[in-house]
Structures are given as C-alpha cells and as structure tokens.
Amino acid sequence: MKNIFLEFQVSKRTRAKVDKQRKELRHQRAQSNMRVAPSKRRRRLEDDRDEENELRMDMIHTESHFNFVKMHLPSHFSDHIRQFGNIPMYSTDFGELAHKEQIKDGWRRSNKNDVERQILHSYGRQHAIRMRLLNLNSLRRRGANPGDDVLGYLDKTTSTVSTPAPRGRILKGRRDDLSDVLDFCKVFGISLDRICLELIRYSQHNLPTERRLPEEPAILQLLPVELLTQLEIPVLAFQETDVYDIHRA
Amino acid sequence: MYGALRGRLLAKLVALFKIMDCSQDTVRRLAGVQMLSPVNSGRPSDIHSLVMVQLREDAREFTLVDIGTILGLAHLIPEGDRRWLVNSRIDLRTFNKIY
C-alpha cells in the first residue's frame, strides 16, 4: 500500500531534501563532465540520470511514512463510539445544509423587504407542503385514494388510520435430541429439582389457577419438551409505524 | 424501576423451548434466562452516560420466562469481569451496517 500512494503523499520536507540532493549531484557532475570527451559525454549523462532517479526513489522510500492525521484518526473510531455513541451524531453536515436551505434559499426568494419574516415564512411553507406530501404517500400506501379535496380528506382521515397489529414471535430450529423435561435437564446440566422448582415458580406467578402446570415432580419430569434454537422477535423500526426489524436471538 | 432502563431488565438467553401440559392440552413457549442486574440502580454513568449491568454471584442460574416477555435483543459491550455496558446510543440496524 505504501508504494502505491508513495508519489501522492511525499512530504514537502522530503521533496525539498530530494531537490537539494539532486542539485548538488548535478553541480558535481557538471564539473567532472567538463573533462570528458564530447563523444562519451552523452552516454555518461544517461548513466547519471538513471543513478539520480534511483537515489531519488531510495530517499523517498526511506523518508516517507503514513503517520499523518487522516490515517491515524480511524484507529480511535471504536473508542469514540464506546464513549460518545455513533459518529454521524456529531456531524456538522446537517447544520451546514440547514444554513443553505433555510436561510440562503429563503433570502434569494424574498423581495429583500422585511427579510427575516419572509425567510421564516418561506421555510414554514415548504415544511408544511413536505409534511402533506408525506401524509399523502402514507395514505396511498395503505390503499386510500384521496379525492380532489385533498386537504379536507387528510384532516378527516389522519386520526382514524389505525396502526397495524404487532406481529408475534416465532420459534425456529427444532432439535430432535430430547423429548421430555428429564432430557432437558441432561442437555443443559441442570438438576431436576432446580428445573421443577422453576417450572412451579413460573406457573404460580404467571398462570391463572385453573391453568397451572402440575406441581408433582414425577409428573413434571415426564412432560413433553421441544427444544428450539432461534427466536425471531419483530421490533418496530425507529420512527416507523409499520416497518419491523427482526431481532434473531 | 431499574433507573434509565425504565422497567426493562437484561438477561442472558440460555434455552428456548416449548413444554406441553398434557392434562390441559396446552403448549407453553418458554425461555430459560440468566438475569443480569443493573449497576448503580440503573443510573447512567457520569463518564460514558451508559447503564452498566452485571452478572451477580448470588443470582439464580436459571429463570423461566414466557417468550412473550422478551422485548428484543440488546447490544452489550464487555466492561471488565462479568460486567457489560448497555449500548443505548446506536441501534442494532446501524451497528450491523457499520461493523
């Protein structure tokens, strides 16, 4: 990698060193070439140029490095996320964009009289129209067909749109190597007494009296059990009402 | 309850299973979990503003809960022995996209 980007990241200091060395070398050679016969001079000049290039590349290789800020910063990303959260949260992009969209565009659209008020109104109108468009799209996705009187329709319908019913949890990945509570204890290395105690505790705390599990260990240990390996839990996506992320445990 | 966790508690999932009550012909969907307890009553730390949870020595090794009570996965960052930070700053979808 170092060699690929070498030409692009040679520091000013290294470049200056190379130039200085080249000048000194040329000066020395110019003096020695004065004594060489013109017929041999051309050949000698070519040799000197090759040697000069080699020296230059050697110096660049020894002097160059990747120890600069842009390459160093990514090494701190994981620590930064641990301490402060996600990086885009600290981005200034949104603020800069808002300066353009909310202020500069508003200024250009105004007639330059009472500008502050016009800028605020301009952005307020844009925002209101965007919200209306989003509402319309949302209604269309749900199968509604808004008529000509869109605004009136929106006012009537937005409050009556019901949220979709939450989806249930799904168990997957059945294992066939156990059939009852006794097998379950063996697989997980838990004592039978412990699991019976937990089953009774669960039953007493969570189930109505008439639907409780039997409390005799002899019956409990023979209850059929099916072991599964995956649980899918639908969780509403951030700021969404009908989009679910599936968490797989 | 549990400070900033607002009534939700973290647990380590040990087993998922269905158990059939033959006398009533009903099936219960249960999960065996190991409960974690919040450090400092669930108050976010002054240093990193995250809640820390720990696996207590005296906690029960195996607790049964209905799978309907499991709300979702939580992203835990190991912090020392038997202690974890609860990542509440970045959601799982974004985390998976980055890493």
Spell out the per-residue pLDDT of chain B, length 99, in tens: 788 888 889 999 989 999 988 888 888 899 999 999 999 888 888 888 889 999 877 777 788 999 989 988 888 888 888 899 998 877 777 777 676
Residue pLDDT, tens place only, B67-89 = 989 988 888 888 888 899 998 87
At residue A164 the predicted structure's pLDDT band, cuts being 50, 70 and 90, is low
B62 and A195 within 8 Å at the Cβ level: the answer is yes
Asked if A84 has any chain B CB less than 8 Å from its own CB, the reply is: yes
B62 and A198 within 8 Å at the Cβ level: the answer is yes
pLDDT at residue A128 greater than cutoff 60: yes
Average pLDDT, chain A: 79
Q: Which of B94, B20, B32 is nearest to B61 (CA)?
A: B32
Show the domain range for B12. Answer: 3-98
At residue A95 the predicted structure's pLDDT band, cuts being 50, 70 and 90, is confident
What is the model's pLDDT at position B53? 92
Task: For an interface test with A, give the residue of B10, B28, B51, B91 to mutate (most A CBs within 10 A).
Answer: B28
Q: Which of A155, A116, A123 is nearest to A139 (CA)?
A: A155
B90 and A235 within 8 Å at the Cβ level: the answer is no
Q: What is the pTM of this model?
A: 0.51
DSSP assignment string, A125-179: HHHHHHHHHHHHHHHHHTT----S-HHHHHHHHGGGPPPPPPPPPEEEEEE-S--
B94 and A86 within 8 Å at the Cβ level: the answer is yes
At residue A105 the predicted structure's pLDDT band, cuts being 50, 70 and 90, is confident
Asked if B62 has any chain A CB less than 8 Å from its own CB, the reply is: yes
Question: Who's near A103: CB < 8 A, 6+ residues apart?
Answer: A119
Question: Who's near B74: CB < 8 A, 6+ residues apart?
Answer: B10, B86, B87
Other CB atoms within a 10 A radius of the CB of residue A213 amount to 20
CA distance to partner chain B, nearest, from residue A101 (Å): 27
The stretch A74-80 carries a mean pLDDT of 85
Tokens found for residue B28: 């219960």
What is the model's pLDDT at position B99? 66
Asked if B66 has any chain A CB less than 8 Å from its own CB, the reply is: yes
- Contact residues, chain A, for B72 at CB < 8 Å: 233, 235, 247
Q: Domain total for chain B?
A: 1
Asked if B23 has any chain A CB less than 8 Å from its own CB, the reply is: yes
* Beta-strand pair A244-248/A225-236: antiparallel
Rounded to whole angstroms, the Cα distance separating A115 from A128 reads: 20
pLDDT at residue A225 greater than cutoff 60: yes
Of A11-15, A22-26, A121-125, give the lowest mean pLDDT range. A11-15
- Contact residues, chain A, for B45 at CB < 8 Å: none
Q: Report the Cα B84 to chain-centroid distance in Å.
A: 11
Asked if A169 has any chain B CB less than 8 Å from its own CB, the reply is: yes
Partner residue opposite A213 with nearest CB, options B21, B77, B93: B21
Rounded to whole angstroms, the Cα distance separating A189 from B62 reads: 11
Q: Which of B2, B90, B1, B91 is nearest to B53 (CA)?
A: B2
* Amino acid (one-letter) located at A67: N
Tokens found for residue B7: 């009534």
Surface of A (85-144) touching B: CB under 8 A: 85-86, 89
Task: Identify whether the C-beta of residue A238 lies closer than 8 Å to the C-beta of residue B91.
Answer: yes
Q: Which long-range contacts (CB under 8 A, 24 or more apart) does A50-54 make?
A: A52/A22, A52/A25, A52/A26
